[in-house]
Amino acid sequence: MADLETRLAALEGRVRELQDRNEIQELRFSYHLAVNEKKPEMIPGLFSENGEIDFAHLGKAVGKANVAAFYNQALSELVPFVKQFIHNHIITVNGDSGSGVSYLEAKPIFNGESFLVAARFDDEYVRENGRWKFRKMTLLPYFMVPLKEGWAGPNKIQMVRK
């Protein structure tokens, strides 16, 4: 009987980890749904109370109110059109925290021009009130260049927030 209890406990642990990974993946996908559909009001709820973003030269924000302000501005006046595509989401779970890496391909319009963007997201997750949230989202750009120029030139970061 002890062997059965041990196996059952191990199985419950695996199921919990799979459920956590699925919930974190849904969190990441919900973020891109909000961006792609231009629904900035959905984004603050995806972050923990002290959640933060670090988007390199594009800006930083700490706390839900500041994250909300960042996206309200970014998804209205700065970037009137954007579609993001996420790839290779790798998730690590450790109890009520976790981390993730995913790769981004984006097609925004910035300053009236079509851009090509490739970057990596480094995420920190936390379970808050029973739900997974972003604790920190970091964007590491590989290139942000006008479509007409491509990414072969030396200036690979040309999409700069003014």
Domain ranges for the chain, please list them: 2-146
Q: What single DSSP character describes residue 154? A: S
The pLDDT of residue 150: 78
- Give the model confidence (pLDDT) of 39-49 as tens digits: 999 999 999 99
The pLDDT of residue 154: 80
Query: Helix, strand, or coil here: 48?
Result: strand
The pLDDT of residue 35: 96
Per the CB < 8 A criterion, the answer to whether 49 and 116 are in contact is: no
The pLDDT of residue 4: 84
From first to last of its 162 residues, the chain has per-residue pLDDT tens of 679 888 888 888 898 999 999 999 999 999 999 999 999 999 999 999 999 999 999 999 999 999 999 999 888 877 889 999 999 999 999 999 999 999 999 999 988 899 999 999 999 999 999 999 999 999 999 999 999 987 777 877 887 876
Domain 2-146 is of which CATH architecture? Answer: Roll (3.10)
Q: How high is the mean pLDDT of the chain? A: 92
The pLDDT of residue 5: 86
Pair of tokens at residue 126: 């936390």
CA angle, 43 as apex, 40 and 46 as ends, to 5°?
Answer: 170
Pair of tokens at residue 137: 């989202």
The pLDDT of residue 1: 64
